[in-house]
Structure 1
Amino acid sequence: MGLCFIQEAWSTDSANLSSSSGQEAFKGLNSEKSAEGHLESYQDSSQTGEKIDPEISPSSIPSKVEAEGGSGIQGDGVVPEALEPFRPVKPEEKIQDLRESSIDSEMDSRKALQEKKVIKEVKVEGIHRVDRQAILDHLPDQSYCTQEELDVFVKNLFNSGLFKEVFVSLEKEILFVKVQENPSIAEVRFEGNSQISRSDLKEDATLEPRDIFSKEVVANEVKRIVQLYSNKGYYAVKVHPFIQRLKQNRVNIIFRIQEGNQSYNKKIRFLIDSKSPNFSDRTLKNVITSLESRWWRILGDPAECYDKARVEYDCDLLRKHYYKNGYLDARVTAHTQLAKNREHFYITFCVHEGHQYCISSVKIKSEIKDLDLKGLESHITLGKGDIFDAEMPERVSIRMAQELEKRGLPFIEVRPVIDKDEQKKEVSLCFVARKAPIVYVGKIFMKGNYATNDEVFRRILKLSEGDPLSVNKVNNSKELLENMDFFESVEVKPISTGHPNIQDVVVEVKEKGTGDVKFSGGYSTQDGIIGQIGLEERNLLGRALYGNLNCMVAQHGMDFRVGVANPFCFGRNLTLGGALFYNRFRSTTKGNFSGQGAYKQSAGGGDVYARYPLSSRLSQSWGYSVHADHISHFSPYMSPYILENMWKRYNVLNASLEHKLDYARANVENGEYVSGTGVQWSTIFHGVGGEIKCLKNIVMASHYIPLNDEKTFLLKFEVQGGFINRMGYMRFSDQFTLGLFSFPGFRFSGLGPRDERTGDALFAKCYYTASVKLYWGLDFLGIPKETPLKAVAFAYTGSLWNSIFGKRDNYAYILSQGFQNRASYGVGLMWMLPMVGNIGFLFSKPFQLQRWDQTQTFLFVWGQSF
């Protein structure tokens, strides 16, 4: 009795890999004649000196005659059936004979399989690394065994993955086990990878040194590598595995990677089954996150690369968009097609719009007797005749439940009941208040927060041990944790404890990187050549501390700043922070940063601040700053007013206390304001220590108005002004100045009070500016809205007046000492680039000015907001 089992299953898997992932199958893995150290490839078996089919070798399988104990017929081995006597039988007799013979054969087989054979000795051959006992452990009884148990024994040996071949035979009560071990892996190497680091390739590798080599494991590793590249948009990747045979039955596995190019979204289309679609392609493209590949994204954008998960997410966004606009029967599917070059994808979103539904009625009901529902109707944002928004009922229900909870009714829930009339295309909406289960919070558990301390979660959560447990608090806690931007995913879920009124709460998160590195550089008319690097960490030490380090070096100055802030100081919604800084810059009184009006100013010190909200839109902050200032490199030809003001005052200590109120009611999309209002009022008192004595008040307000639904036309109004009350010694540079980006059309310090004799700007204690800006996308040129290129037209008006200096003699007058208004207008192009910021240019022309003002028509922008 003998049984031979050879494990060779690579050929089929390899072919599947080649067809699905663009990889090539390689052959010759089982060659025992290849020289040590020689690479064997699945592609080219000529390297091994012989071509071996990866299927089972015919020589290793007993012939049919030998296996069945035949008569040893020679020749072609075919039995001459025509020599047997022919005796016709009736059909029913033949069927009966077949049944009887089949039953007898099956019973004989079962009897043979179950017949126990004695084993007095087990001999194992061919093992080098594997322990002998590890083989015998697969045999249930080493004294007796049946043929069925022997089959299971062989299968178990193969399933262990340790052996390439297994041969078992029982002769004269001696069990012979001959095996050929799979090689062990000495080293796993990756070659040709540049887009994915070797550490990332090895992070979740299924092959490790000292593992046992098998073709299945190599195939799985190839699939894993291909999937890693696919996640990054490299669908044309090819992975070629090689083996390098070593002594002592060891091998090196080498994966040679041909990365190819990233697969981009070449075209995104929308097929809508409506004769008159309600939304244009441009509107729908603004809804989804996937982007078409475009040349103007010089640094690239991950949204340009094809991502299956992103496309599925876009389908959800489109569905929500239609539901939000009343299309409750809308259906969205996506179809993708990969180009022949495997570098471009064509994405088609198929949209079934259906009909638009309106609201027929809105009601509020209560299943609780004597429940006061007064005031809940104020949370309803839509009424009869309005287009139904599918997201509105859930939002309103949450706000109503929160309102009841504030009234001391925690175990009440509000559920929206929607009745859709498909014939009339109307929706009746009813908010029903009913009792919720009385459940309290038992224990709170945190999972997945390897870098974030538990205390960070506890101060964010709206739940504590012993509190009433409500769906509103769970959802609110989940939303607050997601807004921290520390986690890829957040789950807050109650779990049963066995007590009907107590549930534990599990907060499970998946953390993500919270550090950022920012580089930028460029040139601006004001600062010259600029280089900047910034480091930020939003979760410093795992305690949600914010830390930053910024370094800016420019042609006309430099600035270094390091700071840290705690946004939840003392367990409250209080931000307490501080920073150390040093800056040095070149300023001018004549608009020329290297001429006679130039001087240098530097400051080094630190500041502390505290900020906290007064309401959902209003916040207040206090700050204290102290720094040593140094001013130097004055020209002897500078204004006598300035020289006298700075005489023996080149080094001063400046300390100030600042109070600030911020009101924000604005909507932000993609990091830019698109609508709303913002107001800021700052009061700075210089004189809490130091030599400078004055009080500054500055007010700034802005208002954004989108002129179309797609927000491609945006109107911005901005007003700001300030005044200084002098309370002691002040330097001329402690005053306000205008020009360049603060007032296009004029040079730096190009307007305001000026010395008539020298032409030096003297700065001033009062100023105001008002501006209107119109931003619009260049879609009329066929450029989509997502293009970071936009045009701007602007108009400014303002003034700078009332310098600290007065008339000193009959020959020296201060020009523009009183209020004299200026105005300018202009146009420009802005291009928003990652890490760099705005880049573009502005053309402006003053049309209201004084003859002594210094103008500048062209401004080059790089990294400067406007």
Structure 2
Amino acid sequence: MKRLSLTLILCLFWITPSAAQEITLKRLAVFPFTILSKEPLPGVSEKVQQTIQEQMEKDGFGMVPIGEVEREIALRKAPLTPELATEIGKKLNVDAIIAGSLVKIGPTVALEAQAVDLTGKLAPINLKFEGVGLASASQLARKLAQEAGLKIMGQERIAKIEFKGNRRIENDAILATIQSRSGDLTSTIKLREDLKAVYAMGYFSDVKVDVTDTPQGRVVTFLLEEKPSIDQILVRGNKKIKTKKILETMDIKQYSIASDATIRDNINKVKALYREKGYYEAEINYNLEPETPTEVNLVLDISEGAKLYVRQINFTGNAAFKDKELKEVMELKEKTLLSFITGSGIVKKDVLERDAEKISAFYFNHGYIKARVGEPEIEVRSKGIYITIPIDEGPQYKVGKIDFQGDLIEPADSLLGKVKILKEKVYSREVIQQDLTTLADLYADQGYAMADISPVLKENDQDLTVDITFDIRQGEKVYFERIEIAGNVKTRDKVIRRELRVYEQELFSATNIKKSTQNLRRLEFFEDVNFSTSPGSAPDKMNLKITVKERPTGQFGVGGGYSSQDRVVGMVEISQSNLFGRGQQLRLQGVLGAITRRYRLNFSEPYLFDKPLSFGFDAYNWEREFYEYTRDSRGGDIRLGHPLRWEYTRLLWMYRFENVNLTDMVANASPVLLEAAKIHNTSSTSLTIRRDSRDAIFTPTRGSDNSFTAELAGLGGDAAFTRFVADSGWYYPLFWGTVGVIHGRLGYVLKNSWGALPAYEKFYLGGIDSIRGFKYAEISPRDPVTNDRIGGDKFQFFNFEFRYPLYKKVGLTGLVFVDTGNVYGSGESYLSSMRTSVGTGIRWYSPMGPLRVEWGYNLNPKPWERRSNWEFSVGGNF
């Protein structure tokens, strides 16, 4: 390294002998140009003279100030002639003079001049340039100056630039770093700067410049000694991070030039990698081991040290908020007992930078509009990391006057009722941003897609208030010109377009774009849905592009559960929810187990004949062994549905026919069950009204799902009854990505006079979809003599859930729940007694499909019931 430093010093102040000659820059004088024109042209002569003067100074000539030239002319008190110009030039000790005239005949402008070399080395140089219009005079003057310079200094210009000694570094890469170019005047100062620049590239151990005179001009040659290239990168001493990961972090590759600067940059990248893993004291040194005369091995010697965690996070200057409150805002946490599992307590630079921004935003959202969060100070001591974040809070500002200005599509009082900042006591930047979005959507729904809305703040330091004026510039109304769809390989365009609430040639609407996005996501055909806009063919036109990323919609599924009575039961399902890309659903399901066997075929067409009329049917064969009997059911149904005028609301009609046989009845069975065994056929029709505004089906975070069904049986067959079922589920986004869920269902059934109500058409509860912790259909009124389950004519249950993200990156969700409800017989009323369970579970849209694992605990089990019960279901994609 000492030898390289000495070479650099020598190179910076020495150029090879042929280039050591001092380049003499000519000293010139430019005289005023004579104007030959029928019309007066005031100021044109001075402008031409000044333009030539400036251009030649730029080209490196030493120029006599124009004022000195004019002073000498004035002293002579005689018209300017070539002889007088020569005399003045000699007195001013110049090497050459330039003088001439501007001739204007009609629109044609001619600039004629002569450059005279007073040293006698060159013959006089005659120059002439023509243009059209007086405005061309400046351009003609610049051309004249450039041509004069070329001819006067022709032998001192660079004719060619060459590079010798570079093997891997391209000539163009070197040329891009230097200032000198072919055609430039040779400059010792500029060449020295070029030499420094080439050496600073880091690819050369020695750089020299050779300048040779030729009849065509000077040839500048850079003599280069290239550093060796890297043959292998060897890593030693690493145990905590694999060599492969270290090499992936570096951008030095095999056969790269061994540049010190590049190597140091890559070492810093490896250090950053170690710090992200908690090894804050990792030290990395390097050396170059010769392999061949032109190749070396780069060896990294790593001392990893111990993993260090954040022991303490401190704040200085905070008075309004306690350290604990500020720490809750941060993503970076102090070390805990579970840090070795969760990874908390590891310092990551980007996370710490985000945390500083989060703390600033926290202050801004609590009225501290002048708060400043300084650069976090990181200190390593006592085998731990201590972080100190300086804060300058400033005063807290309250909300002052709220006003609107600009283009108002509604009265100010009406707009005032739409903003939330009015309800805030202190200023909040977050609430202001929400209000800007609200106002932007309001204008966008009226077609003003490009409305510019900005808050104008006026701080009142005396009473510590902030007056807020929303400045609105609505712009022009915008229409959708063209709607394009991209990314759909399987799904047909019409399946996507029929879910849109925006249409070509209609006004822009932000609300309808949001609804369209939600509708497409609810299909669950796509992993991602993205809407983007671009300008149309006119200022009031806009193109909309919808880009989707499809997910596998074919599924095979397995599921099961276990209880002391049901034992193991398994389910196999094959389904396609986007059949042939038409949005149709086809499902074949089989449930097999020790006590149950069930087969089901399901088909659904959401848009029959491309109309918003849904159609579907089911066919099934179901056999299940209950404790009291074995039920064998065969049947099917036909369904039709149509949207109503209310958003998210549909009316559904269904006809169902089912044949049921009860066999293997227990000895001394309940008379209710014996009667049911004689009733076989159920023929019924039902109407359902349903409103579903959930943002997703499997793991919704907001919205609701409400329905009411009325079913009439007795259209033929043996059974005759009327049944009502109401269902309601509500989903509320809470804090930190959590979701609250309230779900309830109740039902009532009564026997019609012209038929019977068999026990198997009554209500039962228990299982993963009703009250968890109880096995399937376990909750039921029982015969007081035989204790057989006989079903109830009314029921209700409620589910209360708290869902929280376990691992956001993969969509793993945890939940805790409370389930309560019961089934009631004749003479009992709703809520007269309740069965309750609590529990926990996880949900995950896994690569194998939706997965549920849930455990319920029966708070008050009856003698024949288990204390707890596990259940799970999982599906898979293909």
- TM-score, scaled relative to structure 2: 0.53
The alignment partner of 1:754 has SS state of coil
Cα 1:828–1:745 shift into 2, 3 Å:
closer
Cα 1:132–1:197 shift into 2, 3 Å:
closer
Contact (CA 8 Å) 1:789, 1:829: kept in 2 or not?
Answer: no
- Look up the match of 2:669: 639
Structure-to-structure mapping, 1:513-662, within 5 angstroms:
587-589=626-628, 599=630, 615=646, 634=664, 636-637=666-667, 639=669, 641=671, 644=674, 660-662=688-690
Q: Structure 1: where are the runs of 5+ without partners?
A: 1-54, 71-100, 590-597, 778-786, 803-816, 847-852
- Look up the match of 2:833: 823
Cα 1:61–1:237 shift into 2, 3 Å:
closer
Cα deviation code 1:26-45 (max 9, x no counterpart): xxxxxxxxxxxxxxxxxxxx
Equivalent of 1:271, from 315, 323, 329? 315
- Look up the match of 1:85: none
Equivalent of 1:759, from 778, 787, 812? 787
Are positions 1:721 and 2:751 aligned together? Answer: no
- Look up the match of 2:762: 735
- In the alignment, the residues of structure 1 paired with residue 527 and residue 717 of structure 2 have an alpha-carbon distance, to the nearest angstrom, of 45
- Look up the match of 1:845: 860
Contact (CA 8 Å) 1:751, 1:854: kept in 2 or not?
Answer: no
- Look up the match of 2:418: 379
Code of the aligned partner of 1:428 = D
- Look up the match of 2:150: none
The alignment partner of 1:733 has SS state of helix
- Look up the match of 2:84: none
- In the alignment, the residues of structure 1 paired with residue 346 and residue 777 of structure 2 have an alpha-carbon distance, to the nearest angstrom, of 47
- In the alignment, the residues of structure 2 paired with residue 536 and residue 236 of structure 1 have an alpha-carbon distance, to the nearest angstrom, of 55
- Look up the match of 1:697: 724
- In the alignment, the residues of structure 2 paired with residue 464 and residue 833 of structure 1 have an alpha-carbon distance, to the nearest angstrom, of 37
- In the alignment, the residues of structure 2 paired with residue 863 and residue 152 of structure 1 have an alpha-carbon distance, to the nearest angstrom, of 73
- In the alignment, the residues of structure 1 paired with residue 194 and residue 686 of structure 2 have an alpha-carbon distance, to the nearest angstrom, of 83
Cα deviation code 1:174-198 (max 9, x no counterpart): x99999995889x999999999998
In the TM superposition, what is the alpha-carbon distance from 1:736 to its structure 2 partner? 1.5
Cα deviation code 1:244-299 (max 9, x no counterpart): 999999999999999999x897568473744452x783x6666555666766799x
The alignment partner of 2:833 has SS state of strand
- In the alignment, the residues of structure 2 paired with residue 328 and residue 653 of structure 1 have an alpha-carbon distance, to the nearest angstrom, of 74
- Look up the match of 2:868: 859
- In the alignment, the residues of structure 2 paired with residue 268 and residue 548 of structure 1 have an alpha-carbon distance, to the nearest angstrom, of 56
Are positions 1:421 and 2:460 aligned together? Answer: yes
Contact (CA 8 Å) 2:554, 2:575: kept in 1 or not?
Answer: yes
Cα deviation code 1:675-707 (max 9, x no counterpart): 99764434467799999876543223467999x
Contact (CA 8 Å) 1:751, 1:800: kept in 2 or not?
Answer: no
Cα 1:659–1:307 shift into 2, 3 Å:
farther
In the TM superposition, what is the alpha-carbon distance from 1:640 to its structure 2 partner? 6.0
- In the alignment, the residues of structure 2 paired with residue 575 and residue 256 of structure 1 have an alpha-carbon distance, to the nearest angstrom, of 69
- In the alignment, the residues of structure 1 paired with residue 431 and residue 8 of structure 2 have an alpha-carbon distance, to the nearest angstrom, of 75
- In the alignment, the residues of structure 2 paired with residue 164 and residue 503 of structure 1 have an alpha-carbon distance, to the nearest angstrom, of 58
Are positions 1:335 and 2:361 aligned together? Answer: no
Structure-to-structure mapping, 1:435-584, within 5 angstroms:
435-437=474-476, 492=532, 494=534
- In the alignment, the residues of structure 2 paired with residue 541 and residue 297 of structure 1 have an alpha-carbon distance, to the nearest angstrom, of 49
Structure-to-structure mapping, 1:42-57, within 5 angstroms:
none
In the TM superposition, what is the alpha-carbon distance from 1:639 to its structure 2 partner? 2.0
In the TM superposition, what is the alpha-carbon distance from 1:114 to its structure 2 partner? 8.5
Contact (CA 8 Å) 1:419, 1:427: kept in 2 or not?
Answer: yes
- In the alignment, the residues of structure 2 paired with residue 518 and residue 234 of structure 1 have an alpha-carbon distance, to the nearest angstrom, of 44
In the TM superposition, what is the alpha-carbon distance from 1:761 to its structure 2 partner? 0.9
Code of the aligned partner of 2:857 = L
- In the alignment, the residues of structure 1 paired with residue 509 and residue 658 of structure 2 have an alpha-carbon distance, to the nearest angstrom, of 51
- In the alignment, the residues of structure 1 paired with residue 454 and residue 509 of structure 2 have an alpha-carbon distance, to the nearest angstrom, of 13
Contact (CA 8 Å) 2:404, 2:471: kept in 1 or not?
Answer: yes
Contact (CA 8 Å) 2:444, 2:510: kept in 1 or not?
Answer: no
Equivalent of 1:768, from 796, 819, 837? 796
- In the alignment, the residues of structure 1 paired with residue 282 and residue 620 of structure 2 have an alpha-carbon distance, to the nearest angstrom, of 48
- In the alignment, the residues of structure 1 paired with residue 209 and residue 303 of structure 2 have an alpha-carbon distance, to the nearest angstrom, of 44
- In the alignment, the residues of structure 2 paired with residue 518 and residue 373 of structure 1 have an alpha-carbon distance, to the nearest angstrom, of 57
The alignment partner of 2:667 has SS state of coil
- In the alignment, the residues of structure 2 paired with residue 550 and residue 241 of structure 1 have an alpha-carbon distance, to the nearest angstrom, of 64
Contact (CA 8 Å) 1:191, 1:254: kept in 2 or not?
Answer: no
Identity of aligned residues (%): 17
Code of the aligned partner of 2:824 = L
- In the alignment, the residues of structure 2 paired with residue 527 and residue 214 of structure 1 have an alpha-carbon distance, to the nearest angstrom, of 71
Cα 1:544–1:715 shift into 2, 3 Å:
closer
- Look up the match of 2:50: none
Contact (CA 8 Å) 2:228, 2:296: kept in 1 or not?
Answer: no
Contact (CA 8 Å) 1:326, 1:388: kept in 2 or not?
Answer: yes
Contact (CA 8 Å) 1:265, 1:347: kept in 2 or not?
Answer: no
In the TM superposition, what is the alpha-carbon distance from 1:760 to its structure 2 partner? 1.7
Cα deviation code 1:464-483 (max 9, x no counterpart): 66555688889999999999
Cα 1:702–1:507 shift into 2, 3 Å:
closer
- In the alignment, the residues of structure 1 paired with residue 510 and residue 803 of structure 2 have an alpha-carbon distance, to the nearest angstrom, of 43
The alignment partner of 2:376 has SS state of strand
- In the alignment, the residues of structure 1 paired with residue 373 and residue 573 of structure 2 have an alpha-carbon distance, to the nearest angstrom, of 42
In the TM superposition, what is the alpha-carbon distance from 1:63 to its structure 2 partner? 15
Contact (CA 8 Å) 1:752, 1:764: kept in 2 or not?
Answer: yes
Cα 1:57–1:692 shift into 2, 3 Å:
farther
Number of corresponding residues = 710
- TM-score, scaled relative to structure 1: 0.53
Code of the aligned partner of 2:746 = Q
Q: Structure 2: where are the runs of 5+ without partners?
A: 25-152, 215-221, 805-811
Code of the aligned partner of 2:466 = V
In the TM superposition, what is the alpha-carbon distance from 1:856 to its structure 2 partner? 3.9
